[in-house]
Amino acid sequence: MHGLALVMIARNEARCIERCLRSVRAHVDRMWVLDTGSTDGTREIARRAGARVAAFDWCDDFSAARNAALAWADADWSLVLDADEWLIDGAVALQALRCEAPRHVGVLRVDNLYGSDAVQASRSTSWLSRVLPRGARYEGRIHEQPPAQWPRRRLGVTVLHDGYLDDVKRAKQGRNESLLRQALSEQPEDFYLHYQLGKELELRGAFTDALAPYERAWAGAQPGDPWRHDLLLRLLFTLKKLARHACAVRLADAEMQRFGDSPDFCFALGDLLLDWAAQEPRRAIELVPMIESAWQRAVAIGERPELSDSVLGRGSFLAAHNLALLYEGLGRTDRARVWREREREMRAATNAA
């Protein structure tokens, strides 16, 4: 039998660390929390929840902290979670690791919540390397990853993450940008870091500033890079926000063959074309059928959470909602009524799942 430990780094996470620890403690042998400088009671809460806690001097390097925690835990398998994440499904898959030799990296499904509150939040799915075998370590000052030499395997484990909710995100604003710029000064050709810098800027509405790192990332991204799907969607959105519709449509046309089966891509394309039609009404006759087709295609594809950073609803109720609005705006009330009903059915099915 192989041991399984929770391994976490944390700083000022009194808001949520107990929730994370309680969600996993029945499924691991030990819980290890390496604190990087908390001043809010994080350490005491972690100890009361059953974790072993030690201190680490923060050095502007997430890999250094995570690797110190991994070395301290010294487990056959290490489940790496952040305090603002918590386990909602996957106990069976975690238990199965005890019977497997630690020779691969386990990839977990992480559902990210976005918006003003958890109840009304949008949700996107990421697939992250979070179960490490003994001896594996992270690389990278920020947005750290285990090296590619370790084979990846997706596990039947799902984690929720609320660190992108508005209030939580504001509290940490600026930290990641500073580390990303520092990392890029050391590794200027790391296109994944350019993508992450663009994302950091875009999420706070700095679209003009986000465009250059996004375009740099796009120029260097390889077809097989798992983050290229999200990069494309964010680049299309940023171009739309900057009113560069024609440029965005050319990009979408060039990527249609690769991403035409992504509901997120089709949803984003319809949104882009609608914005163009709204800003240039003379194009509406040409663009409206294309908008309609894009959102209908998204519904026909359905949800594809296996795609990295796919947003829940773009292959169902969100696309149906947009179609209903489109038909209402066109005065096609019968079609609008049909899509309103489909939206209700899809939302109900999603809530019941």
Per-domain residue ranges of the chain: 4-102+128-146, 173-221, 238-352
Nearest to 86 by CA among 104, 105, 108, 66: 108
**Each residue's pLDDT tens digit, 132-186:** 999 999 999 999 999 988 999 999 999 999 998 888 877 777 778 999 999 999 9
Q: What is the pLDDT of residue 333?
A: 97
**Each residue's pLDDT tens digit, 255-268:** 999 999 999 999 99
- Coil/strand/helix, residue 53: strand
- Tokens coding 13: 């996470």
**Each residue's pLDDT tens digit, 189-200:** 999 999 999 999
CA–CA gap between residue 247 and residue 201 (Å, rounded): 20
Q: What is the pLDDT of residue 266?
A: 98
Q: What is the pLDDT of residue 170?
A: 76
CA–CA gap between residue 341 and residue 290 (Å, rounded): 23
Q: 353 Cβ partners below 8 Å, 6+ apart?
A: none
Whether residue 98 is predicted with pLDDT greater than 90 in this model: the reply is yes
CB-CB contact of 273 with 249 (8 Å): yes
Q: What is the pLDDT of residue 118?
A: 77
CB-CB contact of 152 with 129 (8 Å): yes
- Tokens coding 257: 């063959």
Q: 194 Cβ partners below 8 Å, 6+ apart?
A: 184, 213, 214, 216, 217, 220
Burial label for 174, CB within 10 Å (0-12, 13-18, 19+), is exposed
Least confident of 23-37, 73-87, 160-174, 209-223: 160-174
Domain 4-102+128-146 in this protein, CATH class: alpha beta
Band of pLDDT at residue 205, cut at 50, 70 and 90: very high
Q: Does the domain at residues 238-352 carry the CATH identifier 1.20.1070?
A: no
Least confident of 163-177, 203-217, 222-236: 163-177
CA–CA gap between residue 302 and residue 156 (Å, rounded): 21
Band of pLDDT at residue 317, cut at 50, 70 and 90: very high
Q: Averaged over 307-314, what is the pLDDT?
A: 94
pTM here?
0.91
